[in-house]
Amino acid sequence: MIDPLEAGLGTVVERLRRLPEPDPGALLRLRRAVEADGAEPAPGGGLRTVLSPARAAAAAVLLVGLTSLLWIVLLGPRDALPGDAAIPVQFVLAAHDARSVVVVGDFNDWNPAATPLRRGTEGVWSVVVPLSVGRYAYSFVVDGREWRPGGGAAPRLDAFGRPSSVLLVSRPAT
Amino acid sequence: MRRGTGRRTQRAGRAWPLLVAALVAVRPASAQETRLDDRLPPTVAARVSALVDSARAAGLPAEPLVQKALEGQAKGAPGYLIEAAARSLLHRLGVARAALAGRPSNDPQDAAELVVAADLLEYGASATALRALAGRRSSGSLGGPLVGFLFLLQRGVEEPEAVRLVSAMLDAGLPASAYAELQRLVDGDIQHGISPRGAAAARASALVRHGARLQGGGGAR
């Protein structure tokens, strides 16, 4: 008897294998062209895009936490992935003196015990969370008491008097 | 014997659709109510649940209301504020759908677009601005452009200018990644002391000019 979960995963893997080869130079070329056209080159901070070694099945993995808003865009045709396919998203926060960092948001029912970050080198904390297509509000909590939005943005307090950020995970354009 | 079996089969046949309908109707609601009941005082949970039911009845996404309530609880907000925030969000979702000329939909991408539009209204954007952007949508999701618009407002770019810039990018048919790139570049410029308005104008127009290269994938590597 075929396990339905296994069969579903097999279908997803097969569809991912059929995704077109992404053009790794396209974004770089655009960046160079725009920076040559505009003002000074942007510093290293801000949004960073990381493709996994195996293209992560054409899914983009973006570092969250250095910006308040970001997009996750899959490379491929609109029907390449089912609407509920999870996309790995990495949340990152630089907090040198922190003893603990968690991320809470619409993806984990704002549960502070659900998604702790791991401390990496130089006080950079991170965690990867698989997310489906959607819009997610989120915030970091440092040492169980300090609420921090995703980096760069001017923090804006929400209706509850605490900062939070917005993350959009979307399908590719047709 | 055969007649008895036939009656049982007939009764079962009538019962199945009712059972399936009951499961479909009850399962999502009970799951959400459980989350609210577990985390909120009973009166607040009941009031938010009523708002969730209203959203469903109107064909609006209900999950954002649940999340808004859970967010308020996690942030230590009092019950009246949680209820008010959920009620306000429900109202904004309705206004956003009218502005975007959207229809009830089960597509998560449509729901995401609607919630970002509600975020924009909360931030002070006008329904007129949303209508202006929605009117320029050619194909695909408006989510990326709307988040780009929210980003520009957050950086202090005035609404008319932000609408103009995002409209130009929409007209150029730029992919969602272009709006993410706009954010990265503008933030970099701001850190170098350039005004948000000047940075946004320069970067958006450069993206419009060079966007075709990103989409086409051709040219020198």
Sheet holding A124-131, edge to edge: A48-50, A61-64, A87-94, A124-131, A118-119
Q: Which of B76, B110, B144 is the last residue of a domain?
A: B110
Tally of CB atoms within 10 A around A149 = 24
| Domain identity same for B30 and B100 | yes
Nearest Cβ partner of A46 from B188, B203, B213? B188
Do the Cβ atoms of A69 and B140 come within 8 Å?
Answer: no
pTM of the model: 0.70
- Extended beta strands in B74-208, E state: none
pLDDT digits 0-9 by tens, A22-45: 444 554 555 555 555 544 333 322
Supply the CATH classification number for the domain A4-170: 2.60.40.10
Interchain contact B111–A (C-beta under 8 A): yes
Q: Of A48, A66, A69, which to mutate for an interface test with B (greatest number of B Cβ within 10 Å)?
A: A69
Domain housing B153: 124-221
Nearest Cβ partner of A34 from B122, B154, B207? B207
| Domain identity same for B157 and B192 | yes
> By mean pLDDT, which of A3-7, A24-28, A103-107, B13-17 is the weakest?
A3-7
| Side-chain half-sphere CA neighbours of A147 within 13 A | 21
For residue B118, being part of any structural domain is answered with: no
First vs last C-alpha separation in chain B: 80
Q: Which of B63, B84, B110 is the last residue of a domain?
A: B110
* Across A140-160, average pLDDT: 80
Nearest Cβ partner of B115 from A27, A31, A135? A135
pLDDT digits 0-9 by tens, B100-158: 987 777 778 888 899 999 999 998 999 999 999 999 887 677 888 999 999 899 888 99
Q: Which of B110, B132, B150 is the last residue of a domain?
A: B110
| Domain identity same for B144 and B220 | yes
Question: Per the structure, how many domains does chain B have?
Answer: 2
Q: What share of chain A is helix, strand, coil (3-state, %, to 5)?
A: 20, 30, 45
CA B121 to chain centre: 11
- Extended beta strands in chain B, E state: none
